[in-house]
Amino acid sequence: MILFFYPKEDNTLGCIKEVCAFRDDYEQFEKLDVEVIGITSDSVESHKCFAKKHNLPFTLLSDYSCLQ
């Protein structure tokens, strides 16, 4: 499993580069039976839009504790 955290919001340049790098290599991770999960403090709804916009084939989770 690859579990990565990205500290900024979904649609910031650095986060887009990071998640799209995992997306672009996703086929290789699948061949190795590796699950990819990204985590940030954005809402579930924001993640849905972000994942759809960038064709992300992996799960994005929300960590609301980062906002407290």
CA distances from 54 to 15, 49, 66, 68 (A): 11, 9, 24, 28
DSSP state of 9: -
Nearest Cα neighbor of 36 from 57, 10, 9, 51 is 57
Residues known to be catalytic: 15
- Which tokens is 41 given? 């403090």
